[in-house]
Structures are given as C-alpha cells and as structure tokens.
Amino acid sequence: MSLIYVHCYVPGAFLIPFTVMLFLEGIPLFLVELGIGQRMRLGSLGVWNTIHPWLGGIGITSCVVTFFVALYYNVIITWCFFYLFNSFQSDMSDPQSPLPWANCPMINNTEVPECEKSSETAYFWYRTTLDSSPNIDELGDLKWWIVILLLLAWVVVFFIMMKGIQSSGKVVYFTSMFPYIVLTIFFIRGITLKGASAGLVHMYTPKVEKLLDPKVWLDAATQVFYSFGLAFGSLIAFGSYNTPDNNCVRDVILVSITNAFTAIYASVVVFAILGFKAMTNFDKCLVNNKMKLFQHNLLPNASVSTDIYESTLANLTAINATMDIDLETCDLSQQLNQV
C-alpha cells in the first residue's frame, strides 16, 4: 500500500523510477537474500555470522528493524479491525445509510461544523476512530476501543505465528489470495463510479519534471525495499526452508512480476475511487457557487446546467456586485491533487 501513498503526490512520474529501482536493486537483492538462505539453510543471524563474524550485527539489526516495522503495521491492522466492525453498523441519524461514516453527525438538525468544513470520512477518521488531540504537544488519553483492537491484532498474529512455518505457511494460502478477491470487487465497483476515468487519467499523466527531484528516486527505492521485504531477514529465513536444488531464480522472477502487477493493480483501484471523491467535491463546489449566485439573483435557479453556470460566471463583472460573492474555485485538477 505504500506505493499508493507515494504515487499520490507524484502521479504518473513515479512508475518510471519505481521500475528502474525494481531492476537495479529489487530483483538483485531479492535473489541474493533468497539464494543465501537456500544455500546455507540458516536464518538471518546465522547467515551473516557464517559469512563473517563481524557481519553478525547485520542480522541483529534486521531483527530490530523488523520488530519496529511489526509494531507499526499492527497499528494499521488495528484500524482495519475498527473499520471492519463499524461497517456492520448503520448511521444512527440516517437508517438508510449503509455506513456510519457516510454522513456528518447532526446536532440540533445542523451538521457538525468541523465535519462540514472537511468531509464525512475525514471526520470519522480523526474524531470517531482516533479522536486525535488538537496538536502534537497534547498526548491525549488512551482510547479504549483502539487499545482493545490492538490487543486483538497481536492475538491474531500470535496464533498465526505460534507454530512457526507450519502455521504461517497455511495462513499464506488465504492472505495471498483474499486481497486479490477484495481488490477485484473494489475494481469493478470503482470503475463504475462517476469520475473514475478522471482519477485514472490523473494517475498515468506523466510529470517529467518530477524525475529531476532526488526525493522521488529515494522514495522509489524505499518502496521497492518495503514491497519485497528486503533487508528484514524474512526472505533469508523463507529461503532456508527451500530444498537446495530449488530454482530460486524462477521464484524471484515470478514473485517480482506478481508484486509489480499487484502494486499497479491496487493503484488503479485506489485512483478510480479518488477520482470519484474528487468529482464529488467538484460537484459540491459547483452546487455551493450556484446557490450563492442564485441568492444574488444572478441565476434563475440553483439547479441550472453547468454550461449556463459557466456562461454566467464568465460574464460577471465588478458592476453586478460580484465583490460581495465569495465564490469558491471549482477545479477538478485541483481536487484530484488534494484528495
């Protein structure tokens, strides 16, 4: 998923450095780690100590890094559990709404100002899920629902890993296939949404000037390390379970192609939905502007077509009191950059 976050702020241009780094560092290091694990039949600590005792620190460091990354990703699993359980609830203010984050909460028949200024999903994330403090200097209290779900996440991980490769290997059959089922469902739904095409065009529109930014290449290299699990020691450990005559080159090529395809496939799904969100915000902006123009008697009604609205907007001058109208800038490209 980290590819999606990086891809969001450098759309179009990121695929080029990602592909370059995939061949320069991803596939070679993947082959090295899998190969030495298969050859020496040892884990990360044993492999590096065998190569040279002074390199044993690399194995120790990889274990420490893996521990902290596991802490980080278990928090993400916790948030997933929270959304999963809340998806079985409906919005109390609107029984017809399928999800609690579909609408802003109402107080005295008025939407909460904070939610109205942001969005329904952002309000649910920051207020209902995290209940985040106003600033980073205020730690806030522990949220009992997050604490319980974090404990649940660790319990699930424990039961998956408690028997080592015997239990985790069986779980992989589910964890490797289920995401593709979910992605396909989201893909079918996403491409049917209004604005999906705009999101996909935005995703694959190249921004060549971004290729001159060293940070883009650094992020691409970082993404390759995360997507393959390089330098964490896990590939060495998995390779140690292969038979000595296993064709690890074939495995590396197959996994690399599958990994790259999955990353692009997931990006298509996400950007189709982001395009829908941007189009929704764009339409909301148009509705607000039409209402303001209607209130100033510059439109016959607030439901006129977009062509009439744009024609009226182009003919506005300072003489007809436009200075009193606080119109928003409705730009789909800007909305795509913001979502």
Please enumerate, by residue number, every residue annotated as part of a binding site.
Answer: 227, 259
* Residue 16, burial from CB neighbour count under 10 angstroms (0-12, 13-18, 19+): middle
Rounded to the nearest 5 degrees, what angle is found at the Cα of 138, between the Cα atoms of 134 and 144?
A: 90
Instruction: Report the distance separating Cα 203 and Cα 90, nearest Å.
Output: 33
Compute the half-sphere exposure of residue 58: CA atoms within 13 Å on the CB side of its CA. Answer: 17
CB atoms within 10 A of CB 115: 20
CA–centroid distance for 3 within its chain: 8
CA distances from 289 to 115, 175, 194, 267, 326 (A): 19, 47, 21, 32, 8
The candidate with the shortest Cα–Cα distance to 119, out of 246, 277, 302, 331, is 277
The candidate with the shortest Cα–Cα distance to 240, out of 50, 3, 14, 67, is 50
Residues annotated as binding site for Na(+)?
227, 259
Which residue spans within the chain are E strands per DSSP? Answer: 106-107, 110-111
Cross-strand pairs, 111: 106
* Residue 11, burial from CB neighbour count under 10 angstroms (0-12, 13-18, 19+): buried
Amino acid of residue 244: P
